[in-house]
């Protein structure tokens, strides 16, 4: 079980109908999380049969490699490394070592871990010195690689912050200042990563470039996606992927959010130098450094959604996908969600043979921070959903769960929250003013008071966010 506060979410005070729906939905969430465990995804993707390494459509003869190096980072990369080490040890015929950057506070089931792959704890979402030191060690490992070396790069969401290495002339403080401004701006992850890539000596394909200094090793990137559309160049800012963006794009995104003149002067000058072609661009499609690079997405939120769907169907609930690319401002989506549900009911529910529907959505919302409260994107979305229906009468039972599957959302300790008819009655009885919490970006405080926050701690999982709603008409 991932949920640590299951008993609170399913307490005896909840009316029977709401309780039954909560049990089903929370169990569906547990199955969704199980489906995207890094251990499961690595085991399914990486197979060594005799001397053949098989990953999707790739087959390599391991006897042609003298050694294996494992590097990378992200919220799920620690568990990926543990399982990959188990596979390599079981094979036993190739020496290996490496280093992975993972979030501080992440607990791993690694009691049988040999330590040949060092787990380096670094800060997320704002980078720190530990992250830089880890990346420097990775670069030292790959700089002297040759044609008969094999590099595994383990990548998952969170890698952009966990794998910092400033370009020459920039500092860690520069990266931290820019990251802080971007995270509070409402910019999309694609826009943020376009900027990060151009300030980094590791991201935007520059890892692949660095590995080709003295030879051309084979690079295999095993990637767990946390971005809408699973774009390889966006996940952890694509260290082994050709970059489609430019210095000009980075400058334009900063201007779009009125940040260009708020960032440190050193960063502004650096980006302008890149724009003037005084320093090299990130490597693009067709660069020879990518000739022996193989990038594989081994897991995404689709795996989680499918597992939840299967479980809900087993419980005689008809499942529909309302949206597979949820994005935009969290509170805007929350305000629109009631319209989506109402339209669905009008077009489907009253004509159907079943009396229970589940609506599944995946994606990642953003929050423009104006207050100093505690919260996260899914919690803010659900809070504004409640605010948008506060004067409406709901004549059916509903339950909506929205979560960040890595277990930690925003600056809160919750992965998200759950709301239903019972939530409405609770906040009304407590005479809470929802607008006050919204104005201060304080959604977690609201859900904590109502005991509707979902607590798991770090899960070691990182894919897109998951929203599931259940509608019951009996």
Average per-residue pLDDT for the chain = 93
The CA distance from 102 to 93, in Å, is 27
Peptide bond into 125 cis (omega under 30): yes
Mean pLDDT across 413-426: 96
DSSP string over 442-465? -HHHHHHHHT-EE-----S----E
Which is higher by pLDDT, 348 or 257? 257
How crowded is residue 145: how many other Cβ atoms within 10 Å of its Cβ? 23
Position 162 confidence tier, pLDDT thresholds 50, 70, 90: very high
Between CA 203 and CA 250 the distance in angstroms is: 14
Average pLDDT of the residues in 425-450:
97
- 8 Å CB contact between 403 and 438: no
What pLDDT is attached to residue 126?
83
Question: Per the confidence metrics, is the pTM higher than 0.85?
Answer: yes
**Coil/strand/helix, residue 110:** coil
Check whether 211 has a pLDDT greater than 80.
yes
pLDDT over 70 percentage in the chain: 98
Q: Using CA atoms, how far apart are residues 71 and 69, in angstroms rounded to an integer?
A: 7
Residue 462 is predicted with a pLDDT of 85
pLDDT at 287 over 70: yes
Which one is predicted more confidently, 259 or 462?
259
Q: What's the burial of 443, exposed, middle or buried (CB within 10 Å: 0-12/13-18/19+)?
A: buried
Average pLDDT over residues 375-389: 97
Name the band, by pLDDT with cuts 50, 70 and 90, for residue 86.
Answer: very high
Q: For domain 38-165+200-245+282-299, which CATH number applies: 3.20.20.300, 3.30.1490.100, 3.20.190.10, 3.40.50.10180? A: 3.40.50.10180
**pLDDT of 91 above 90:** yes
Please count the other Cβ atoms lying within 10 Å of the Cβ belonging to residue 59: 11
Q: Given this model, what pLDDT does residue 110 score? A: 64
- Taking only the tens place, the pLDDT of each residue in 100-153 is 999 998 877 665 677 899 999 999 888 899 999 999 999 999 988 999 999 999
Report CA-CA distances (Å) from 341 to 53, 356, 359: 47, 13, 9
Number of Cβ atoms within 10 Å of the Cβ of 342: 12
Of 132-141, 186-195, 277-286, 394-403, the poorest mean pLDDT is in 186-195
Domain positions in the chain are 6-36+301-472, 38-165+200-245+282-299
What local confidence, expressed as pLDDT, does residue 186 receive? 85
CATH topology of domain 6-36+301-472: glycerate kinase, domain 1 (3.40.1480)
Q: pLDDT at position 234, please?
A: 86
Residues 221-241 have a mean pLDDT of 91
DSSP-based three-state secondary structure for 284: coil
Cα separation of 162 and 156, whole Å? 10
pLDDT score for 157: 84
* Across 139-143, 152-156, 171-175, 470-474, least confident range: 470-474
Closest-CA residue to 86 (of 37, 49, 46) = 46
Q: Are strands 397-403 and 293-299 parallel, antiparallel or unpaired?
A: unpaired
The reported pLDDT for the residue numbered 395 is 86
Q: What is the pLDDT of residues 351-380, one digit of tens each?
A: 666 789 999 999 999 998 999 999 999 999
Is 463's pLDDT higher than 70? yes
CA-CA-CA-CA dihedral for 54, 60, 66, 70, to nearest 10: -40
For residues 322 and 319, give the distance between their C-alpha atoms in angstroms, rounded to a whole number: 9
Give the distance from CA 73 to its chain's centroid.
12
């Amino acid at each position: 079980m991932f949920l640590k506060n299951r008993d609170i979410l399913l307490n005896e005070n909840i009316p029977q109908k709401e309780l039954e729906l909560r049990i089903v939905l929370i169990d569906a969430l547990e199955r969704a999380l199980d489906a995207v465990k890094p251990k499961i995804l690595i085991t399914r993707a990486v197979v060594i049969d005799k001397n053949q390494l098989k990953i999707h459509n790739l087959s390599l003869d391991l006897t042609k490699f003298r050694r294996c190096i494992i590097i990378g980072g992200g919220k799920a990369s620690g568990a990926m490394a543990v399982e990959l080490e188990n596979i390599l040890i079981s094979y036993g015929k190739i020496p290996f070592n490496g280093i992975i950057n993972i979030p501080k506070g992440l607990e791993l089931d690694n009691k049988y871990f040999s330590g040949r792959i060092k787990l380096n704890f670094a800060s997320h979402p704002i980078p720190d010195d530990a992250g830089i030191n880890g990346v420097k060690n990775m670069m030292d490992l790959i700089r002297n690689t040759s044609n008969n070396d094999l590099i595994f790069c383990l990548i998952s969401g969170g890698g952009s912050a966990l794998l910092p290495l400033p370009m020459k002339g920039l500092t860690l403080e520069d990266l931290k200042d820019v990251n802080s401004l971007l995270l509070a701006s409402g910019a999309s992850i694609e826009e943020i990563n376009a900027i990060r890539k151009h300030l980094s000596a590791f991201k935007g394909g520059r890892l692949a470039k660095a590995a080709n200094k003295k030879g051309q090793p084979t690079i295999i990137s095993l990637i767990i996606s946390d971005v809408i559309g699973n774009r390889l160049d966006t996940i952890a800012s694509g260290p082994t992927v050709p970059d489609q963006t430019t210095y000009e794009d980075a400058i334009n995104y900063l201007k779009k959010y009125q940040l260009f003149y708020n960032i440190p002067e050193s960063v502004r000058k650096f980006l302008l130098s890149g724009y003037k072609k005084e320093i090299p661009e990130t490597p693009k499609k067709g660069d020879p450094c990518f000739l022996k690079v193989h990038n594989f997405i081994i897991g995404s939120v689709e795996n989680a959604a499918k597992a939840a769907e299967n479980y809900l169907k087993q419980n005689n609930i008809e499942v529909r996908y309302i949206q597979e690319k949820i994005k935009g401002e969290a509170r805007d989506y929350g305000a629109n969600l009631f319209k989506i549900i109402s339209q669905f009911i009008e077009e489907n529910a009253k004509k159907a043979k079943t009396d229970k529907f589940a609506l599944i959505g995946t994606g990642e919302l953003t929050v423009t921070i104006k207050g100093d409260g505690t919260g996260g994107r899914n919690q803010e979305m659900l809070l504004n959903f409640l605010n948008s229906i506060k004067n409406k009468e709901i004549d059916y039972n509903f339950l909506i769960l929205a979560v960040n599957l890595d277990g930690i959302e925003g600056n809160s300790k919750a992965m998200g929250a759950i709301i239903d008819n019972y939530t409405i009655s609770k906040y009304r009885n407590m005479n809470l003013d929802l607008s006050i919490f919204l104005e201060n970006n304080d959604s977690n405080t609201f859900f904590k008071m109502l005991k509707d926050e979902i607590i798991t701690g770090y899960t070691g999982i990182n894919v897109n966010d998951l929203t599931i709603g259940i509608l019951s008409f009996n």
